Amino acid sequence: MGTIALLTDFGETDGFVGMLKGTIKSIAPDCEIIDITHKITNFDIRAAAFVLQKSVRYYPAGTVFLAVVDPGVGSARRMLAARAGEYYFVAPDNGILSYTLTEFPEKRVHAIENQALFLPDHGQTFQGRDIMAPVAARIASGMALETVGPAVESYAFLKIPNLLKHGRSVIGEIVYVDKFGNLISNITKNDLPRDVELSNLKCMVGDVKNIALVNSYSEGQGMAAIISGFGTVEVFLNQGNAAGRFARAVGMTIAVEG
């Protein structure tokens, strides 16, 4: 029996996550369920897309990712099931899968239309439970992907922030803020100038300049930068909240130069 990894903005107070899990277990009782997170900021599709993209590589082949951050629930937006590489995905067609699917040259994406797979009393307000969870459970149990419905050639796509490289500098964007208020960028370690030691690089975010790159959080003096657990450059404030220094952190430009 397979593994299902859950990513939602449902939180932990209303029982919604438990309903997802109960639905899955009712159909696939031996399925292992892993929580990626249920604390994505409400309706923040872009944050969910980023966390999903950065999480997939740490899961075993065959994992089914059920990602439900769905401000368009009950509308005409589609629901999708996909296979990319050795992984499967079930999610609303709102861009939440776009960052992840971009990383796989070979993928198959299908619209979820086979109502025989839905819960009998499915409604319009909780399609994560009534439609997507049953589909994920059946895929984890070995159901062929094409059973869900017809293949689709296009799907909702979130714009991927561009990187600009020039000589010994690279310019990117703050794409995510974690629970500690750390500013996560889209600049990976491999994007940094190859001929400059990390300790000789400086970052700039907003009006804050000369931010040093360090090897551990404890080395940070004031605002500092580090290679994050997501594998990208992160700006942090040692035992503080870097995001609190700015009116709106996500979308800000970050520059790294040597």
Exposed e or buried b per residue across 54-90, where buried means at least 16 C-beta atoms within 10 angstroms of its C-beta:
bbbeebeeebbbbbbbbeebeeeebbbbbbbeebbbb
Per-residue confidence band for 62, with pLDDT thresholds at 50, 70 and 90: very high
Residue-averaged pLDDT of the chain: 95
CATH 3.40.50.10790 domain position(s) in the chain: 3-148
Whether pLDDT at 199 is above 80? no
Per-residue confidence band for 60, with pLDDT thresholds at 50, 70 and 90: very high
CATH 2.40.30.90 domain position(s) in the chain: 164-257
Question: In this prediction, what percent of the chain has a pLDDT beyond 70?
Answer: 100
pLDDT of residue 75: 93
Q: Options 3.40.50.11140, 3.40.50.460, 3.40.605.10, 3.40.50.10790; which CATH number does 3-148 get?
A: 3.40.50.10790
Say if residues 237 and 219 touch (Cβ distance below 8 Å): no
| pLDDT, mean of residues 162-183 | 93
Whether pLDDT at 195 is above 80? no
| pLDDT, mean of residues 124-138 | 96
pLDDT of residue 66: 98
- DSSP H or E segment with residue 110: strand 107-111
pLDDT of residue 161: 85
